Chains A and B, each alone.
Chain A
Amino acid sequence: MAARKWLVIGLALGAAGLAILVRGNFRGLPPCPLHSTTGLYCPGCGVTRASRALMHGDLGTALQMNAVAILLMPLMAFVMIREIAAWGWQRPEWRPGTGGRWGIRLGFAVIIYGILRNLPGFEFLRPGGG
C-alpha cells in the first residue's frame, strides 16, 4: 500500500533528522526571517525556543516563550497521530473529529492571540514576556 510506504519513509526521515540534531554538533537555528524583517510576533513566535526548553525539561521557560502552543501541543499531537494512522492504514474511522463549536472557538482564539501579541499593553504574551 502506497500510503504505508510513505509513512515508513516519513518516519525514517524524521528519525534521521532527530539523530542529526541529537548527535551532531548543532549550534541552533537562525532567527525567524519574518520577525527579523518585519518585527511582528506571529502566533507561532517562540515555538522553537519553547520546544528546546521543553526538551531540556524546563516547562517554565517553554510557557514563557509560547504558552498557547505548549498548551495545545498534546491536542495537536493527538489529532496528528490519529490522522497519520488513519491515512497509513486506510481506516477513515480513525480520523479525528471536526472539533465542532469549540474547535472553531479555539481557531479564532489562536488568531486573536497572534494579534494581541503585537499590541502595546500585551507585551507579556510575547516570547520571554516582551
Chain B
Amino acid sequence: MSNDWYYATGGVQQGPIGIDELKARHAAGQIPANALIWREGMDNWIPWNQVPELAPAPEIVAGGATGSPAPTPNPVGDQIYAPPATSPYAGTMGGAGGPTVNPPNYLWQSIACTLLCCLPFGIVGIVYAAKVDGLSVTGKAAEALEASNKAKFWCWMSFGTSIVGIVLYAILMVAVA
C-alpha cells in the first residue's frame, strides 16, 4: 500500500501515510471522526466517515445466516492510484514530508499586485487572501486551501497579464515611434 493519505485536524495537515497507519492512528484516537481526509486523486478533502475505503468493515457474525446480504465495501484494489504523494500544499515552502502548516494566504502578494499591476485582478486576490486564515483557524482545511489557491491564481493572473501588457505596449510604442 502506497503512502498517499493525508489528514487534517485543527487546520494542521499530516501525512503522507499509508491507509493501515491511518486506520491505526484513528483506532488510537489520534484522528477524530470529523477529521478531513485527502489522498491523491480526490477532488477535495472529505470527512473521515465519507471516505469509502475507511467505512467500517461489515461485522462477520459467526453462524449468522440471517439472509441479509452483507454490504460490499468499496474495494480499494481496483482503483488506479496516481504515483505517490505530491502534497496538496506542494506550492508552499514546506518541503516534502513532515506536517505542513496552514496554506499561505498570499495577502501581501495580492496587495503588491494591486498596487503595481494597474489591474483589478489583484483585488480579487486580496478578497480570497483575506479568507484563508479564518478558514484555517476554524479547521476548514479544504476551504482554506481552495481560497489560498484562488488568491495565488489571481496574483499570477495579475502579474502575468501586466507583464504581457507592458511588453506588448513597449513593442507598440517602439513600432510607432
Contacts and interface: CB of A to CB of B under 8 A. Distances in A.
Interface of A: 30, 32-35, 42-45, 47, 66, 68-69, 72, 75-76, 79-80, 86-87, 90, 92, 95-96, 98-100, 103-104, 106-108, 110-111, 114
Interface stretch (B32-40, B50-58, B78-86, B112-120): B112-120
B95 A92 contact: yes
Given A107-B130, A110-B126, A72 B115 contact: yes
Contact of B108 (A43, A86, A99, A114): A99
Contacts of A92: 92-95
Contact of A110 (B104, B105, B114, B132): B114
A110 B112 CA distance: 10
B110 interface: yes
Contacts of B104: 95, 98
Contact of B173 (A30, A66, A99, A110): A30
B165 interface: yes
A96 B95 contact: no
A108 to B, nearest CB: 7
Contacts of A79: 108
B112 A76 contact: yes
B17 interface: no
Given A68-B115, A100-B133, A104-B130, A114 B123 contact: yes
By secondary structure, the B interface counts as helix
Interface of B: 92-95, 102, 104-105, 107-108, 110-112, 114-120, 122-123, 126, 129-130, 132-133, 165, 169-170, 173
A86 B122 CA distance: 23
B93 A87 contact: yes
Nearest to B105: A98
B123 A103 contact: no
10 contacts: A30-B170, A43-B114, A44-B118, A45-B118, A76-B111, A92-B94, A95-B104, A99-B107, A104-B130, A104-B133
Contacts of B173: 30
A110 B115 contact: yes
Contacts of B129: 104, 107
A42 B119 contact: yes
Contact of B93 (A66, A95, A107, A108): A95
B36 to A, nearest CB: 21
Nearest to A95: B93
A86 B92 CA distance: 11
B133 A98 contact: yes
